[in-house]
Chains A and B, each alone.
Chain A
Amino acid sequence: GESVGLHLPTLSVQEGDNSIINCAYSNSASDYFIWYKQESGKGPQFIIDIRSNMDKRQGQRVTVLLNKTVKHLSLQIAATQPGDSAVYFCAENIRGGYQKVTFGIGTKLQVIP
């Protein structure tokens, strides 16, 4: 069935470098997309979202890019810090009058000090 997936299960980056986490989706009916960060033993934490009528959105140290043509989105983290180490999920909110958020399997980001 249609789902959100990630290209890389694990990403290792040097502290201070920029990180890019990619995600592919297949459901063109989605209203918007969300990135969550999940640390061990905790629930997912909202990072940033982007609506389907936007291409780019920036937050504090994070940028999300949406390419609807190829159904791809990415999360860029600037100046990656050890505290950024976690599993990152992209998720899509499927249009349907309620919040059926569909998550991918996640990418584990490891920051090397």
Chain B
Amino acid sequence: DAGVTQSPTHLIKTRGQHVTLRCSPISGHKSVSWYQQVLGQGPQFIFQYYEKEERGRGNFPDRFSARQFPNYSSELNVNALLLGDSALYLCASSLAGATDTQYFGPGTRLTVL
């Protein structure tokens, strides 16, 4: 069975640009969460989506937005990129419940120049 998939694998952008990252959850999983992992640190929670609705948001500016589609895949959008947005962006999927195990994808490495 396929795990969580993310695209693209790597991405290079310049300051001020916007970026869209994509995530496909494990088949049957209805919840998708996004995390930002800066080099040398643990992942930081950005969003959780369940059944196309935002369930939770971390301490990130409004430049970060996301959505979930009817097939449960998800997109993370970041506008007006800053150098500090350079990080590994991780997507995790789970069945649904608040304490269901989250399974992570390999991440998208974003570099902002």
By a beta-carbon cutoff of 8 Å, the part of chain A in contact with chain B is 4, 31-32, 34, 36, 41-46, 49, 51, 89, 91, 93, 95-106
Contact = CB atoms under 8 A, between A and B. Distances in A.
Main secondary structure of the interface of A (DSSP, over half): strand
A96 B41 contact: no
Given A105-B42, A106-B42, A100 B104 contact: no
Contacts of B40: 105
A5 to B, nearest CB: 10
A44 B44 CA distance: 12
Interface in B27-78: 31, 33, 35, 40-45, 48, 50, 55-56, 58
B103 A93 contact: no
Contacts of B100: 99
Contacts of B99: 31-32, 51, 93, 99
Contacts of A101: 33, 35, 43, 45, 102
A46 B103 contact: yes
Interface residues on B, range: 20 to 34
Contact of B55 (A51, A98, A102, A103): A98
A3 B104 CA distance: 21
Contact of A99 (B4, B42, B48, B106): B48
A4 to B, nearest CB: 8
B21 interface: no
